[in-house]
Chain A
Amino acid sequence: MKLIYEKSVAGRRAVRSPRRTVPGRELIQKRLLRTQPAELPEVPEIEVVRHFTNLSRLNFSVDTQFYPLGSCTMKYNPKACEVVAQHPGFVGIHPLWPQLRGGGQLTQGALRLLYETERLLAELTGMAEFTLQPLAGAHGELTGAMLIAAYHRDRGNAKKHIMIPDSAHGTNPASAALAGFQVVVAPSTAQGTVDVKKLKGFINAETAGMMMTNPNTLGLFEPDVRRIADLIHAVDGLMYYDGANFNAIMGRCKPAEMGFDVCHLNPHKSFAAPHGGGGPGTGPVGVVERLRPFLPISRVVKTRDGTYSLDYDYPKSIGYVAPFYGNFSVLVRTYAYLLLLGREGLRAVSDHAVLNANYVLNKLKDIFPAVSDHCMHECVLSAKSLVAGGVRAMDIAKGLIDRGFHPPTVYFPLIVPEAMMIEPTETETRETLDAFIQAMRDLAQTARANPAALHAAPVTTTVGRLDEVAAARNMDLAFEGKFLHPNGVL
Chain B
Amino acid sequence: MVATIMTQNMAFQANSPADDQAMLATLGLAGIDELFAAIPPDMQTSAFHLPAGLSEMEMTRRLAELADANARNLVNFCGGGFYDHFIPAAVDALAGRAEFYTAYTPYQPEVAQGTLQAIYEFQTAMTRLTEMEVANASLYDGGTALFEATMMAFRITRRRRVLIDEGVNPIYRTMLKCYSANLAFEFVEIPLRDGLADRAAFQAQLNRDVAVVIVQNPNFFGCLDDLSDLIAEAHRSGALGIVSVYPLALGIVKTPGAMGADIVTGEGQSLGLPLSFGGAYLGFMTTRKLYVHKMPGRLVGATQDAQGRRGFVLTLQAREQHIRREKATSNICTAESLCALRALIYLSLMGKTGLVEVAELCAANASYGWQKLTAIPGVKPVFHANFFNEFALSVPANAADVISALIDKGIAAGFPAGRYYRGMESVMLVAFTEKRTKEEIDYLAAALEAALC
Contacts and interface: CB of A to CB of B under 8 A. Distances in A.
Given A64-B99, A74-B104, A464-B307, A88 B67 contact: yes
Given A462-B113, A468-B303, A355 B366 contact: no
A252 interface: yes
Contact of B298 (A14, A58, A176, A278): A278
B434 A101 contact: no
Interface string A365-388: 000000000101000000000000
A172 B360 CA distance: 46
CB-based closest 8 A-B pairs: A324-B278, A342-B53, A89-B67, A109-B69, A180-B182, A276-B338, A319-B178, A95-B278
Nearest to B407: A102
B157 interface: no
B51 A342 contact: yes
B321 to A, nearest CB: 4
Contacts of A112: 66, 69
Contacts of A342: 10, 50-54
Contacts of B276: 90-91, 93, 328-329
Given A35-B258, A103-B407, A477-B135, 19 more contacts: A13-B351, A28-B363, A33-B254, A35-B254, A38-B251, A52-B348, A55-B117, A77-B101, A124-B50, A135-B279, A177-B327, A329-B280, A338-B50, A340-B56, A345-B10, A347-B6, A352-B13, A355-B20, A484-B302
Contacts of A341: 10-11, 53
A284 interface: no
A171 B321 contact: yes
A249 interface: yes
B303 A56 contact: no
A328 B281 CA distance: 9
Contact of B328 (A170, A336, A340): A170
A323 B171 contact: yes
Interface in A195-245: 220-221, 223, 225-226
Given A397-B108, A406-B108, A174 B337 contact: no
Contacts of A89: 64, 66-70, 72
A135 B172 CA distance: 15
> Contact size class for B?
35 or more
B328 A483 contact: no
Contact of B175 (A99, A258, A323, A335): A323
B301 A474 contact: yes
B84 to A, nearest CB: 7
Nearest to A488: B310
Interface in A294-321: 296, 318-321
B112 interface: yes
Contacts of B140: 135-136, 139, 279-280, 322
Contact of B308 (A174, A226, A489): A489
Nearest to A146: B182
Interface in B359-409: 360-361, 363-368, 371, 386-388, 400-401, 403-404, 407
Nearest to B255: A34
A272 B13 CA distance: 12
Nearest to B400: A101
Interface string B304-339: 111111111101101011111111101111111111
Interface string A25-67: 1111101111101111111010011011101111111111101
Interface in A60-94: 60-65, 67, 69, 72, 74-78, 80, 82-84, 86-94
Contacts of A58: 111-114, 117
A471 interface: yes
B100 A59 contact: yes
Interface stretch (A285-293, A426-434, A442-450): A426-434
Given A329-B276, A341-B11, A362 B26 contact: yes
A160 to B, nearest CB: 11
Given A17-B358, A345-B10, A26 B35 contact: no
Contacts of A355: 5, 20, 23-24, 32, 35
B252 interface: yes
A27 B367 contact: yes
Most B CB within 10 A of own CB, among A20, A55, A102, A319: A55
Nearest to B349: A14
Contacts of A72: 104
A426 B115 CA distance: 26
10 contacts: A43-B351, A59-B100, A67-B104, A100-B412, A101-B403, A174-B326, A278-B115, A329-B279, A476-B301, A488-B308
Contacts of B125: 38, 40
A278 B278 CA distance: 19
Contact of B12 (A75, A123, A225, A475): A75
A53 to B, nearest CB: 7
A17 B357 contact: yes
B348 A41 contact: yes
B45 to A, nearest CB: 5
A340 to B, nearest CB: 5
A485 interface: yes
B8 A463 contact: no
Interface residues of A, number: 213
B97 interface: yes
Contact of B53 (A34, A181, A339): A339
B352 A92 contact: no
Nearest to B347: A40
Contact of B353 (A3, A13, A126): A13
B98 A63 contact: yes
A113 interface: yes
A290 B78 CA distance: 38
A190 interface: no
A142 B368 contact: no
Contact of A100 (B13, B78, B224, B292): B78
Contact of A279 (B98, B178, B274, B339): B339
B437 to A, nearest CB: 5
Nearest to A463: B311
B338 A279 contact: yes
Given A14-B349, A275-B105, A138 B333 contact: yes
A344 B6 contact: yes
A485 B304 contact: yes
Interface stretch (B36-44, B199-207, B234-242): B36-44
A476 B315 CA distance: 10
A56 B97 CA distance: 7
B374 to A, nearest CB: 13
A165 interface: no
Contact of A80 (B59, B339, B348): B59
A328 B67 CA distance: 12
Contacts of B15: 352, 429-430
A110 interface: yes
B134 interface: yes
Contact of A476 (B107, B274, B303): B303
A146 B298 CA distance: 24
Contact of A277 (B62, B115, B328): B115
A281 interface: yes
Given A13-B353, A149-B181, A407-B108, A343 B53 contact: yes
Interface in B84-112: 84, 86, 88, 90, 92-94, 96-112
B134 A478 contact: yes
Contact of A322 (B86, B279, B337): B279
Contacts of A28: 224, 252-253, 363, 386-388
Contact of B278 (A20, A326, A362, A483): A326
Contacts of B299: 477
Contacts of B171: 320, 323
Given A32-B225, A49-B94, A59-B113, A320 B27 contact: no
B174 A320 contact: yes
Contact of B115 (A27, A59, A471): A59
A174 B78 contact: no
A425 to B, nearest CB: 9
A220 B321 contact: no
